[in-house]
Chains A and B, each alone.
Chain A
Amino acid sequence: MSSFSEVVAMCADATPERAGQVMDEMGIVLQPQPAAPVPLKITRIAFSGTKAPSGADPEPFDVDYSFEDGLTAVTSEKNLVGKSTILWLIRWALTGRRPADLADDVREWIEEVTVEGVVGTECFVVHWTLRDGATHDGSLTTSDGAGSSFSGQPGFAEAMGAFMLDRLRLSPTPWWKSQRGGSAGEGAVSVHGWPSYFPALLVRGDQVGVLLGENFEGGQAVTLLQVFLGLPWALTHQSASTVLKDLSHKQEAANRRARDDAKARDTVLKPTRDRLAAVTRELSSLASSPGAVSPDDADARVQAFATSAAAVATAAEQLAQAQQDLEVARADADELTKQLSALREDAVIVPLIGRVRPVACPRCTTEIAEERRAEEKSGNCMVCVVRIEAPESEAAAIDEEAGLAKAAQGAVETTIAAYAAAKAVHAAAVAANEEARSNVDAVSKAAETTARTRALQIERARLEGRVEQAGTVALPPAEEDDRQAVIACARAEAERRRAEGAKNLLEELGKEIVYVAHRFGFSQLEDASPKLNASLAMRVAGKDSNFGRRSPGEKLRLKLAMVIALLRVGERLGIGRHPGLLLVDSPGGEEMVELDVGNVLKELDDLCKELPHLQVVCATARADDVRALLPDERIIHGPDWIEVW
């Protein structure tokens, strides 16, 4: 047979390690078989104080009673004279909680209480003092030497809860406490501890509504049945059910919060979304309007204009430089050309003039005399008689000057080319600038549209940011994880195993209930089928019936039969968890006129003899019946049989 974890893992499609890890994390208690039952008995109760009934003198009292195994009756002929007090003080001692049923005046009289008992093989003493009817301080002492003192009710309840759960080897049972008035699934995880278990030890004539325990709260009867029946896997099933409800609840709560949050967010964001849609529409319409220039494009155009204007300035500067260079080169060339022309002229004129024969003095126009003319033959000037040197040839100078002029002209050509290039660059820059200017003009014309577009783009970015922001802070829905599957499988498997273990058990329990109920005088009960949900189907006088439809007397007998049957089945099959202490209060109360209390007591007494672990303390006003049945040492009563104390 596969282990529990393996079966759960296979069912949940997880590894056994993961299944085990989830169950461990979620606090699923794997309890195949509960521990063996531990018997609990009360051996003594003592209490003292001062009785102060109205209209009477205060009178101290000091009561001390011992209990044996088996049936003990607490009786008085009058009601409200202390018989129930014994039971409620035992309850107070065992739970640490003051029972609500304890009459106000009575508890105010009591000053000190001591209850002694045995749990398993360990004797214990609970002692506490009272102030104004409430726990003042006290102590719990055990034969093992362990002990604790406490003050106030919380300390008392804590001490007794821990002690009893531990010694009776009971585990706290988690359960899902539904929220009153909440929707399905609303609630919280709670825990049934010792105070919840205690009602299984109690049968009250005035409260017979449920088969086991005192009331319906929290499925108390179901829990008590499962705990005290000692069903295998019951605790596992219960814890898995509770965890599953908790997980579902948390998931649903998270989902609901996410839904509410999303809805609220949608409502809050609606104006933003609407505005965003409108802005987007307007932007798209602006973009397609004639002559539209997008803001980015407008920026680019203005930038391009600035760049081209700068380029024009640079080109103009370079052009001016080129022009200046050209002017300089031209001036140089012009000068050389002029000089060359002059040289060429001189080269012709000077020799020619030199050959002219003077006719008269240029100063006074007197004709030149013949003897002066003869001077020329000697190589002298006929005017001033100075030696005439043959004129130097100008050819070399002309060639040199021509070379220079040519070079200068070449420089001019080069500069002209540079100037032309600069001019072309400048023209291109001017043209580009003109184009950029017309582009910028288009920007200017579309300025209003562009400005509107820019404003809308900024608004759109802001709106989108807002929507996106809302998305990032939104509550996420609950994440699906494998835990629910694992826990659900654990619950199913625990339920299957529990049902298997319960099959014969419930059948046996039903037979015992019929047997015991017959002995309590419910002779028409033919068949009883207890269910794990603490319901009890039955056949009475050939007709199908159930617990809820029976009379109070029959219910009381069935409740007694249920506890006794639990003990008998447990005894016989070696299972069951009931500690064997049964407190029965007023079985023959006013509503139980039809009940044969004497017969019930007799049968309780007989059952006690059959079951060595059973101890019954029964409080009843039917003193006659008690006296007819029980020896005096088994009866707790007052000196006059009217009042207990």
Chain B
Amino acid sequence: MARVVFLLRFCGLEPANGAPVGAVTEMRSGQRLQAVDFWMRNPDYLADALIDDEEADGRADGVALAKQILADREPQLRRLPMTKWRFGAWEELSDVLAPLLLGGLVVHQPTVRGDRTVAEHDYWLMPEGRDFIDTLLAAEPKTFGWYRDRAELIATVAKDTGGSALKARQYKRIEYASTAGMALIPPITDAVQTRLESIEAAAA
């Protein structure tokens, strides 16, 4: 639950037109939420993405941050593996979102097609949700501070990219892409470690 609220808070965008009154952030599409959640649950994939960004001249601290993630053993301590569904990593968030929606911390709006199937789920973090986060941070700054920092970092990688594009980016990693349906997506910690070592060796 903490994960989702922090992601909505820091990876959400400015509320657009049509947003509920008072909304703090807007998470347009559940797909984007699943994508940023994947990065939070798999620090090695995030580290890989950070390195990609640095190599693509997108940022200067990608490699250093990736290195720190591995040094802190986050892939081992923070990993929450995700199952690959038909269209990539996905997990049912209804149970997590239920109390948030119930309490009015988050507002949910599905876009329904003509055949009554849902085309898109959109989420807004409401002021009550922002207060909830502040309460968490006040109660356990160390525990919940990590979620805040990590969500902020993921935001720098996800930027305002849409859910499909983020998923497409994550698919570029062969381990992700080659995972069979309904199987857990495997860690790539060793590969990232090797990547970092070869970057260091090249720099030396």
Contacts and interface: CB of A to CB of B under 8 A. Distances in A.
Interface of A: 330-331, 334, 337-338, 341, 344-345, 348-349, 352-353, 356-362, 365, 383
Contacts of A353: 1, 99, 103
A344 B98 contact: no
22 contacts: A334-B73, A338-B78, A344-B140, A344-B143, A345-B140, A345-B143, A345-B144, A349-B1, A352-B132, A352-B135, A352-B139, A356-B99, A356-B103, A356-B104, A356-B132, A358-B102, A359-B102, A359-B103, A360-B101, A360-B104, A365-B101, A383-B102
A362 B128 CA distance: 16
A616 B91 CA distance: 165
Contacts of B140: 344-345, 348
Nearest to A345: B2
A344 B136 CA distance: 11
B132 A360 contact: no
B77 interface: yes
A352 B136 contact: yes
Contacts of B99: 353, 356, 362
A348 B136 contact: yes
B191 to A, nearest CB: 17
A575 B37 CA distance: 154
Given A345-B2, A348-B144, 15 more contacts: A330-B73, A330-B76, A334-B76, A348-B136, A348-B139, A353-B1, A353-B103, A356-B99, A356-B103, A356-B128, A359-B102, A359-B103, A360-B101, A360-B104, A362-B98
Nearest to A343: B143
B33 interface: no
Nearest to A347: B140
B139 to A, nearest CB: 5
A345 B5 CA distance: 13
Given A330-B76, A338-B77, A356 B136 contact: no
B105 interface: yes
B196 to A, nearest CB: 19
B141 to A, nearest CB: 11
A424 B144 CA distance: 40
A356 B136 CA distance: 13
Top 9 A-B residue pairs of the complex, sorted by shortest distance between their CB atoms = A356-B103, A359-B104, A358-B102, A362-B102, A348-B139, A362-B98, A334-B76, A353-B99, A344-B143
A349 B136 CA distance: 7
Contacts of B103: 353, 356-359
Contacts of A331: 76
B192 to A, nearest CB: 17
A182 to B, nearest CB: 100
A241 B199 CA distance: 113
A18 B136 CA distance: 127
Contacts of B144: 345, 348
A541 B78 CA distance: 157
B143 A348 contact: yes
Contacts of B136: 348-349, 352
Contacts of B132: 352, 356
A348 B1 CA distance: 11
Contacts of A352: 132, 135-136, 139
Nearest to A340: B143
B75 to A, nearest CB: 10
Contacts of B98: 362
A337 B2 CA distance: 17
Q: Pick from A344, A345, A357, A365 the residue with the most CB of B within 10 Å.
A: A345
Interface in B59-116: 73, 76-78, 98-99, 101-105
